[in-house]
Amino acid sequence: MEVLQHVPYFSCRLSLLALLVAGIAAAQPAPPAHQLRQRALSLQTTSPVEASVQVAKGVLTTLTFDSQLLPKSVMVQGRDTHFERFVVEERTITLKPKVDLTADERLLLTVRFADGAAPQEAIFILIPADEQVDAAVEVVRRARNAEALQLELTQVQAQLAALQGRCGDGGPTGLILSGLLDSDVSTSVFKAAVAPGNASGLKVERGVGYRTRAWTVVTVRVRNLVGQRVWRPGVARLSTARGQSIQVKSLRTDKPQLAPGEEGLVLVETGAPVWQAEEELLLELSDTANGRALPIRGVRL
C-alpha cells in the first residue's frame, strides 16, 4: 500500500524532469543557416595553384572548369570518411560532406588537366565554412592576356577573309564569284496544291523553284488564315513522289512568324539535286510548337 502511494510522486518528478530538459533544449540557440554563394577562381599562372573552398555538412559544392580534367587523377583527402557524395566528370567536380570539418581541419583536393598546358595541376584546400558556403565555383584556367587575345583575333580575321573570298560582296556578283550561281541555273513556277480537307488553317499562294547543279531552293508564299493561331514554321521535309527523302539544308522565312491573316515567304534549300527536273515533289512545313503541318504537292525543282 505504501509503494502505491509513492507512484504518483515519482511520476510527477519524472514529468517535471522531462519538461525541464525540453525547456533547456528549446533554449539552446539553433545553429546559424549557411549562406550559399557563387564565385570564380582564376588559375592563370604557369605554376601549380592553391585555392581555398569553403564547404559544410550536407551542402553540395560544385566546381566547374573551363578545361577538361583527367578524372582518374582527381584525388581528395577523407574521401570515405568525410563525403557522402563525390562525383568527378570531364569538366565538373561535385562534392557533399557528411560531417563538418573542425576549425583547424584542412582537406586537399588535387586535380590535373587533360591538355597538358600550364598550369597542369591545381590544389584546392577544403576548409570549414563560416557564414558562407561555396555552392558554385567557376574555375578559370585559360589565359586571356594580350597575346592570347591577339591570336584569337588573327584566327577570326582569317575566317572572315575566307568567307569574304567565297561570297564576294554578298550581292549577285558575290554569288557568281563564289561559284554558287552559274549559267545552268533554271527556275520553275509551279501551282502548289494542298490536299482538300487539310485542317492546318494555312493557304499556299504560289511557289517558285530554283535549280543548279550544286543546289536547289523552293520558295512558297504561305497565308495564315483569319481566326487561326500564330504559325511558326520550324521543320521542313521534302520527298519525291516515289517516297525518296531529300535532305534539307536550311529553312528560312522572311518573317519569324505569321499572325492570323498574314502572308510570308518560306525558303527551303537542298544540296545537289538527285531527282529529275520534271519530277513532282512533296514539301511538308510544320510548326514545332503546335504541330500544324502544311503538306504541299506539285512542287517542282
Q: What residue type is assigned to position 174 of the chain?
A: G
- CATH architecture classification, 37-140: Sandwich (2.60)
Domain boundaries, given as residue ranges, for the chain: 37-140, 186-300
Q: For 217-242, what is the HEC assignment?
A: EEEEEEEECCCCCCECEEEEEEEECC
The CATH fold of domain 186-300: Immunoglobulin-like (2.60.40)
User: In this structure, are residues 291 and 278 in contact, taking their beta carbons and an 8 Å threshold?
Assistant: no
Q: Specify the pLDDT at position 24.
A: 39
Q: Specify the pLDDT at position 23.
A: 46
Q: Specify the pLDDT at position 12.
A: 44
Q: Which residue carries 585555392 as its cell?
A: 51
Task: Kindly give, in sequence order, each residue whose CB lies less than 8 Å from that of residue 154, ignoring residues fewer than 6 positions away.
Answer: none
Q: Specify the pLDDT at position 92.
A: 92
Spell out the per-residue pLDDT of the chain, length 301, in tens.
443 444 444 344 444 444 444 443 444 444 456 788 888 888 866 556 678 999 999 999 999 998 899 988 999 999 999 999 999 998 999 999 999 999 889 999 999 988 877 778 889 999 999 888 999 998 888 655 566 556 656 666 665 665 555 555 556 666 666 667 767 788 888 888 887 778 888 888 788 999 888 889 999 999 999 988 888 888 889 998 888 888 888 888 888 888 899 999 999 999 888 888 888 899 999 887 677 888 998 888 8
Same fold, 37-140 and 186-300: yes
Nearest-angstrom CA–CA distance, 56 and 225: 60
